[in-house]
Structure 1
Amino acid sequence: MATAPATTPSDRDPRDPAPLLGTWLTRGREGLLTACTPGEDAVRRWTQKGNGWKGPDLLPAPGVRAPLTVAQGADNYIHLLGTRLTPAGQVELVHAVQLQTGRPLLGWTALGYPNKTDRRTGDPVAAVDGEGRLCVALRNRGSGVSVRCQQTRGGWARWQDLGGVGTRDTLAAAVDGTGLVELFVPDATSIGRYTQEKPGAAFALAERLETAVGSGSFAALASADGTVSLFFPDEEGMIHVWAPHRGQDPRPLLKAAGPGPLVPARLLVDGRDCTVLAQETGGGEVAFAVLPSEDEGEGEGAGAGWTPTAPGAGRGLALALREHRDGGLVAMALPPGGEPLAARQTTGEGGPAFGRWEPLG
């Protein structure tokens, strides 16, 4: 999920700063949270320690440039993706892994780039399947989409070109209850849903939803029953949810809180599975909405509204949500060029409320 409105390939030079993408607030096997953000030739990492945070630790990332894309699977390994320029001036994706909370990275490995090019063509989206394989997808030079996945016994499969034309920069991916990756690819008039028949298999177009998609927010999330829902805005700024596995057409939820990224997370509220959405407002606040998942009555999100909070960090935030080991949520916001701010869920009737935004430390 991107942290800024979509851009075209010509809008951004590979040397320029770019958004922080993916699940950059993660939780380890022991329940401790980790936040990773891009730095100068380094990844800046904060690790939860007691009621506070340790960091930032500077993890070497020579030549690696933003966007920093972060993904985590059921094995709790943290996967980091960035870009760098080769000596020949070509762009390449690079990948590193953290196997355990607070431990060093294993090192950066080059993945190449679809349709070799000297300019970035899109922001990568990444997901880890049920067997621990990372899958990476991004818009390619032909404005279609290319995917590359790890293999079970090490190494990487070749780039798979899924075709397409006019693809938006912002893609979405999630892992369903069987451990398979689902990929959602928007263009100006439709959304393509790509799936796998079995773990490690190639991706194929499962269906195409004819709908006009607005720019910016685009996010996928697996529900309690293992099915994947897609959240996306229309051209008027209304957020819709599409749950194809549940046989549901897209349904309107609520108006977008603002132009910022849409970040979803699951949470039990009074014993009921809910989806919590976070989004930056036009004024630089962070707004939260709580939607009952898989509602068989009026529909998911019926009557939902936004509750704004003010982190005081300005505009252009990267946002993250993660459940902590006590069962509540931690929200995190990273302002451009600044330090992360965190707010922890407090007790509140009818859903989560968040306390004050505080710097890590």
Structure 2
Amino acid sequence: MNGDWLLRGRDGRLSVYLPSGDAVLCRAELGPGGPWEASPRKVGGDQKLRPGPAVGQGADGYAHLVSWRPTKPGEAGLVHSTHFRPRLAALDWVPIGHPDKSGDRTGAPAVAVDGEGRAHVFVRNKGGGLSMVAQKEKGGWEPWRDLKGSDVQEDLAAVTGESGRVELYAAVPGGLLYWRQGEPGKPPVLEEAVETPVRPGTLRALATSADRTTLFYTDDSGDLCAWRPGGKPVALLASAGPGPVSAVRCELDGHDCTLLAQRSSSGRVAFAAYPTEQEAAGAWWAESGPQLPSDARVSLATDEDGRVVAATLSPSTGQLLLTRRKDEPGLALEAWREG
């Protein structure tokens, strides 16, 4: 999944979304704090999907899912579904078109939801630039827009700032591009580019203050870096493993902190925390839990009590493991258990 796939719904229940063959599945807690549903449910009906779905969540707690689906031989189109509550069925997949009107899949989509609850879907177009389609305020979808850019790689990171405005980061050869909404309801514009080596498939963005978001990525040397537009990228610490990090803001011992998690090269989950936007304070990895399959990914969220929850999921095995922060100082975690 492109985006955080462990989400807390507006009813306090946690849910996880996982791609499975030609579908997206969802499992949810039966009540806040568990236990979990015994088996996952299919999202959006019986339409067959292409690999690489995306998920985003609005301030209202609704999950928005986007995926490619085959339309005819050699062609595909994007579809969208909204999931209002984890224990309810998601809406059926609805076609939202193609950035080039027709053709095959052009790249992995990304989705962010603005302060008014409107989904914004981003995807690379066949010319190598970035295209976007957004929901209208009163239903339906706006026309597709070309947001410019060139040589955009498949790796996109969409995020909504605390202002409710949508932002998008993309990797290009030797650098990063950044788009931001100037006003609610307006399309994001390309505001900044920075030269930096980026390892494909490692972008993850997080809202870190009232007017700023932070992009985390791994550079060619293997360092996990942080970049906020208007500044220069900062190497935070050596990456624990090859994949993307998950990131969440949380309160640790009374301090606003950013917590990172990643499957480490040893196969376990590595955690690192530091004061939000204070990369100079440094961060260190601490590993937790059992060894995981090589395709396992990690996602972070907070529960309705504000406690950090971490989940790991392996597409090859379907095994879901979870842990929560203990009610004690520091980042002590409960024993990992199956969901």
Structure 2 counterparts to residues 1-361 of structure 1, below 5 A: 20-40=1-21, 42-50=23-31, 51-59=34-42, 60-87=45-72, 89-116=74-101, 118-244=103-229, 247-295=230-278, 300=279, 302-339=281-318, 340-347=320-327, 349=329, 351-360=330-339
Whole-Å Cα distance in 2 between the matches of residues 218 and 193 of structure 1? 12
Q: Deviations over 1:199-220 (max 9, x none)?
A: 1212211121122222231111
Q: Residues 252-309 of structure 1: CA distance to partner in whole angstroms, max 9, x if unpaired?
A: 21111110121111110111111111111223221111011133xxxx2523111112
Higher relative contact order (CA 8 A, sep 6+): 1
Contact 2:167–2:181 (Cα < 8 Å) also in 1: yes
TM-score where L is the length of structure 1: 0.87
**8 Å Cα contact 2:298/2:313 also seen in 1:** yes
CA distance in 1, matches of 2:101, 2:169: 23
Deviation at 1:41, TM superposition (A): 5.2
Structure 1 residues 143-173: Cα deviation after superposition (integer angstroms, max 9, x where no partner) = 2211111111111112212222222211112
Query: Would the alpha carbon gap of residues 336 and 104 (structure 1) be closer, same or farther in structure 2, given more than 3 Å must change?
Result: closer
Separation (CA, whole Å) in 1 of partners of 2:148 and 2:209: 32
Task: Spell out, residue by residue over 1:57-91, the C-alpha distance to the aligned partner (whole angstroms, 9 max, x if none).
Answer: 42333212332211110011111112211135411
Which amino acid is the alignment partner of residue 251 of structure 1?
V
Give the aligned CA root-mean-square deviation in angstroms.
1.9
Gaps of 5+ in 1: 1-19
Residue 358 of structure 1, CA deviation: 1.9
TM-score between the two structures when normalised by the length of structure 2: 0.92
CA–CA distance in structure 2, aligned partners of residues 313 and 274 of structure 1: 26
Q: Give the counterpart letter for 2:20 in structure 1.
A: G
Percent identity (aligned): 38
8 Å contact kept, 2:77–2:104: no
Letter in structure 1 aligned against 2:308: L
> Which 4+ runs in 1 deviate beyond 6 A?
none
Write the letter of the residue equivalent to 1:344: R
2:58, 2:39 → 1: CA distance? 23
* 8 Å Cα contact 2:99-2:144 kept in structure 1: yes
Instruction: Measure, in 1, the Cα distance between the counterparts of 2:211 and 2:48.
Output: 38
Shift of 1:42: 4.2
Secondary structure of the structure 2 residue equivalent to 1:56? coil
Would you say how many aligned residue pairs link Structure 1 and Structure 2? 334
List gaps (5 residues or longer) in structure 2: none
Aligned-pair distance for 1:181? 0.5
Tell whether the 8 Å contact from 2:249 to 2:256 is kept in structure 1 after alignment.
yes
Q: Deviation of residue 186 (structure 1)? A: 1.6
Decide whether aligned partners of structure 1 residues 206 and 24 sit closer, same or farther in structure 2, where only a CA change above 3 A counts.
Answer: same
Distance in 1 (alpha carbons) for counterparts of 2:95 and 2:113: 18
Shift of 1:139: 1.6
Following the alignment from structure 1 to structure 2, what is the Cα–Cα distance between the partners of residues 282 and 171?
24
| Alignment check: 8 A CA contact 1:264 1:321 kept | yes
Contact 2:7 2:16 in 1 (8 A): yes
Provide the C-alpha distance between the structure 1 equivalents of 2:24 and 2:108, rounded to a whole number of angstroms. 18
In structure 2, what residue type is equivalent to 1:30? D
